[in-house]
Structure 1
């Protein structure tokens, strides 16, 4: 099958050809006909499957059938994403496929001045890509009206729920017309996602292009056992010995990302960090430098890495294993994209053995372990608890019980992974799009600081 067989107009096919795409991926081949027919859609697709084009291409086709030529252009398609980086990436895709069409688009998110965004909206746009918090800010400032939306897309809906955006999503749903096309994309069909879909979708087509929580076949996964104090040394050795020119490295915390970046720079490796405490300008520069090759190692937290879309990224390293097993799948899915091979390496110390077992249970396979000569772990070192936002886990202790979404729950945490009333680098601060405090003197609201994307 080719894109030309899917009923897309010549201008879109021309843009696809210019971008070098001729054959749709499985998610695209299944989703595009449904969206073209105007039906609602609920799709489970991992990162790297081409899902963005799966909704962007038919959305552009449908909007082109009735193009507005007047001075006033209401928002007719709204695409919601959980993070700034993903919003920017989706809008980049929209611009790529829309380059020969008269449709207008823009992207809005927090961390940057709101005034230029207001100016663009007042000039009129057909397609708006947004993070929920900044979208609601714009509505509150009467810079945006959503009563003419024809298509609503929730991209990475599972991550939006994880990040606490459910209340914002419900507010948005009240602002858009009841009669509209709704498209929901998620990595999994969890119970929470099904509940959200019930209130959003009308007799949707269901698409699942890969078994739930499976890892990509094109990714070679490997574990290097190593002592906790020698991880940085081993990472520098791997980068230098393998002459890696581009590697995405994951840490659990923002502080850990900053520290590792400084250490790699001291080792003579160009590195940059990307996380929620960085300004939007710094995040954008770091990602651009990484994509261009000016930076060899990009050190990221899980939240900030959403939206990092690099077709030929060869290496992903879990410098620290995630305590949430599903995040491992999201992390390694940054490589092995666009039909290319990728390598995902995890540096695992004795403290993380339980995390590794949880990951292997999720992906239903054992990850090959290779000891790097000269970095053999010291068997006399005992496991130590790992601090996760004030809680301790690791060693022989289990991270906690399960919940309806299948995530492990640390004692003293809610099912979403947040420590009640606390500030958790990996979850409570997940609205990494910076922003503003509430009117309560900056104190958390109902135990969680309010963030705006």
Structure 2
């Protein structure tokens, strides 16, 4: 029997089980604010620092509504660096493992530095439900026809300010114009610079803005 406080949210028994296996007992401030809105399917902008628990805020919310009987890609998580994409994908794999053997959730990490043709072949044969990666490589796979994102119902832009600084917002834009205009957008950033505003206004209509101030990451949450 679960004893965590996440059960006040509208989560499935499987997500409750994953949270228990992860050893989480109480939502962090960003999780407490983000998860109810994300679980309702709302688009939002979350402003918080590294180590605040934002990865699980969006990951658990999106996993909550995954349809394993569908062969379509259901949500896409973009990160500005290969290292962050790998770290996020590790959390995805952990959640899939904790979800139980009867859950057939498939995920794929799409980053540069790997054999492109081999990746195309794998994606074409069995599409993943969850894609985590850097914008350039995800866009490559879309252009190659290896993945179709039009059926996806969730899109995460993590570390948006860094994405902007590194010049990847254009790739993100090219991915999004190939997706459903009504896709649920979850944008996370430590800061919301003015230069990011045109992008946010283009893709988000009246989003919730969730700001978590003066948050000091705990040593435990900063293991990466």
Instruction: Assess same fold via TM > 0.5.
Output: yes
Kept in 1: contact 2:120–2:144 (CA 8 A)? no
Q: Which runs of 5+ in 1 are unaligned?
A: 219-335, 341-453
TM-score where L is the length of structure 1: 0.45
Structure 2 residue 15 is matched with structure 1 residue 17: no
**C-alpha distance after superposition, 1:56-88 (max 9, x if no partner):** 00100022xxx2426xx1211011111111111
- Counterparts of 1:31-430 in structure 2, within 5 Å, are 31-63=34-66, 67-69=67-69, 73-99=71-97, 100=99, 101-122=103-124, 123-211=126-214, 216=216, 336-338=219-221
Larger relative contact order (Cα-Cα within 8 Å, sequence gap ≥ 6): 2
Larger Rg: 1
Aligned residues: 215
What CA distance in whole angstroms lies between the structure 2 residues aligned with 1:121 and 1:130? 14
1:4 shift after superposition: 1.6
Say if 1:217 and 1:137 are closer, same or farther in 2 by CA, change over 3 A: closer
**C-alpha distance after superposition, 1:378-409 (max 9, x if no partner):** xxxxxxxxxxxxxxxxxxxxxxxxxxxxxxxx
Structure 2 residue 5 is matched with structure 1 residue 2: yes
Q: Secondary structure at the match of 1:43?
A: strand
Q: Secondary structure at the match of 1:216?
A: coil
What CA distance in whole angstroms lies between the structure 1 residues aligned with 2:131 and 2:217? 34
Q: Secondary structure at the match of 1:338?
A: helix
Q: Which runs of 5+ in 2 are unaligned?
A: none
What CA distance in whole angstroms lies between the structure 2 residues aligned with 1:74 and 1:181? 16
